[in-house]
Structures are given as structure tokens and as C-alpha cells.
Amino acid sequence: MSEKENTCEVRQIKYREALNEALREEMLRDESVFVIGGGIGQRGGSYKVTVGLLDEFGPRRIIDAPISEASFTGAGVGAAITGMRPVVEILFVDFTSLIIDQIVNQAAKYRFMSGGKGRVPMVLRTQGGSGNGLAAQHSQSLEAWYYHVPGLKVVMPSTPYDAKGLLKSAIRDDDPVIFIEHKLLYLTEGPVPQEDYAIDLGVGDIKRSGNDVTIVAWSNMVPRAFAAAEKLAQERIDAEVIDPRTLVPLDKELILESVRKTEHLVIVQEAVRRGGVASDIASIVQAEAFDYLDAPIEIVAGKNTPIPFNVQLERASVPQEPDIIGAVRKVLHL
């Protein structure tokens, strides 16, 4: 539990329930907020994040759209430009390949091309990552696509607490936000305050304090990094686990401060290594904290392959706890 989670009375709820609460509370707070996507009405979404919202807010604010991602995403961009705050849900991040023009060429550039007079306060909620044997077209980690585009913010929460607080801030933000959840996190539970709260975008979190090595991870790699750190502790290796929570904006100072303390860095991403966010974070540390490093930076990443359907091959294609432990031992010369 992070330090902030200790400040209020909390209860244990699921990741998907925390997202549901964030949507409901923001819709009650601001009538310009609405949700649009496929199967989000009576079904409550394939991952049950929007359960009950149709009954409470009606079909004008919970819009169950046809399976035409380009059309309803374009509608969301247009609505945001005219002053609404849409939350557009795309079932799998893989399907965002169908909406690249709307997001990359329109939403991301509108504020700049309007000379700062226009804005696109829209959240694109989607989920990515491997798990459950959903095969190559439903299991990718594509955050680097959007990390690369100026004008977009990228959020990847790893806990129910972070999911709720970050989604609330994303909805209130005046820029387009790509909000990527993970299919294996929806049923995980964690402490979430009863009281209203929001987490500023661009503020990372220390999930576990340590002095020997820094492990930077996001999304579903955070619980794996934390579990690896707990096992390493049995060997008297004290790992610090840093969760950026938002990749854009990136809390680079939190990462640099940790590296200056531990002098060792392992970066863990589920996405394939080539062209990934981990490589960019490594370049930032190389440029700004090189003199503090006592060993080369290790990156633990997915294999350069489409995600297999076979569950055992799927597991072998993305980082697991032993991979993280091995990388830590390598940077510590053990």
C-alpha cells in the first residue's frame, strides 16, 4: 500500500469496481461526462467496468455503440472539441489500430493546430496485455505507439487505488488521455478510500522501498516486480519498486532519485523490447544519472514475437518473476 492510501478509511474492492466508481462519480460531478463504446450498456462491458451505469444515467450518457470503432471514436473526438468530456471505450488496445487517424492525427494535434484555443478533453479507455490465452490479436502491449505521439497522455494503473484516482484525473484533464488497463488486473483487489480523491497525472509511486536496486515497472508488471522483490528479500537483496503510473507525463525525477540511491536499475515491460518505453527510460537515466550507475541497465521485456494462443507459450513470451529476479542478480553481479 502506498503512503497516500493510508490517509483515509479504506475498503478492499476490485480494480474494475474502482474504475466503475470513478466513472460514476465523475458523471455525477459533471454532466458533460458521458461514456461511449461497444457492449457497455446492458452488458456492462466485456470486463464489467460499466455495470449499472446505464440504469443510473440512461442511454444518452451511456451510449452503446455499434461495432464501428472509427465512427464512435470520431464522435468522441468531435464531442470533446465542442465542450463535452467523453470516455470512449475500445475493448482491446489491439483494436485501436482502427482509430489511429482519429487519435493521432486529430485528437493529439487539435490544441497545437488551433494555436492553443481548442482542446480535446477525451479519455480513451482500453485494455491490453497478455493473459487468458486470447491469442495474437487480443493480447498486445501497445503503449509505445501512443507514448511516441506528442499531444497524448498515457496512463497505465497497476492497482485499484491508482485506477480510480488516475481515471478521475484523466476525465478532468483538458488533453486526450490514453488510459490502458490490463485484462489480468480487473479482478485483483486492493484498498480504496471511501472519500473522494484524485491522483495527479505525472506523479509516480514507490510501491516498495529498497536500497540495493531499482525496479521500474508499470501495469501488470508491477505486481510481478513486487513479488520478485519479496523473493529477493529472502536473499537479503533490498529492491525498490517504482511504478510511474503515467508514462506521459513521466515522473522521471522519481526514477532518477531512486537510481541515484541504489546505483542499479532494472526496467520491466510486458511489451516487446524493440522500440519500447523501457528503452527510452533507460536513455533518460543514461543521460541524467550515468555517473551513479554501478552496472549496465537491464531491460526485461516481452519476446519479439506475436503472443501465442497456447497458454504456456504465452507465459514464455512475456516477463515472469524468475526473469526479473535473474536481471536483478545480473546487475548486482550475483
> Is the confidence at residue 7, as pLDDT, over 60?
no
For residue 10, the model assigns a pLDDT of 77
Residue 1 clears pLDDT 50, i.e. is over it: no
Helix, strand, coil percent content, the chain, rounded in steps of 5: 40, 20, 40
- What is the percent of the chain where pLDDT is above 90? 96
- pLDDT value at residue 6: 52
Q: What's the mean pLDDT when you consider all of the chain?
A: 96
What domains appear along the chain, each with residue ranges and CATH number?
10-193 (3.40.50.970), 205-331 (3.40.50.920)
Closest CA to 157 of 22, 260, 306, 262: 22
Residue 62's beta-bridge partner residues?
35
pLDDT on residue 231: 98
Q: Find where cell 486492493 sits.
A: 190
Catalytic center residues: 69, 138
Look at residue 307 and tell me whether its pLDDT is greater than 90: yes
- Say if residue 300's pLDDT is above 90: yes
Instruction: Pull the grid cell for residue 76.
Output: 468522441
**Cβ 19 vs Cβ 168: under 8 Å:** no
Write down the residue that cell numbers 548486482 correspond to.
332
pLDDT at 334: 85
Q: What is the mean pLDDT of residues 302-324?
A: 97
- What is the tens place of the pLDDT at every residue in 38-74? 999 999 999 999 999 999 999 999 999 999 999 999 9
Q: Which residues contact 115 (CB under 8 A, 6 or more apart)?
A: none
pLDDT at position 2, please?
53
Task: Tell me the mean pLDDT in the region 156-170.
Answer: 98
68-92 mean pLDDT: 97
Q: Count of CB atoms within 10 A of residue 16's CB?
A: 22
Q: What number is the average pLDDT over the span 274-285?
A: 98
**Mind listing the pLDDT tens digit for each residue in 119-131?**
999 999 999 999 9
Give pLDDT, residue 326: 98
Task: Band the pLDDT of 104: cuts 50, 70, 90.
Answer: very high
| Distance spanning both ends of the chain, measured CA to CA | 29
User: Average pLDDT for residues 237-263, to the nearest whole number?
Assistant: 98
Q: How confident is the model at residue 8, as a pLDDT? A: 62
Using CA atoms, how far residue 273 sits from 136, 259, 267, 299, in Å, is: 17, 21, 11, 8
The pLDDT of residue 9 is 76
159 residue type, one letter: T
Kindly report the backbone phi and psi dihedral angles of residue 132, in degrees, each rounded to the nearest multiple of 5, phi listed first: 70, 15
Joined together, the cell numbers standing for residue 308 give 501465442
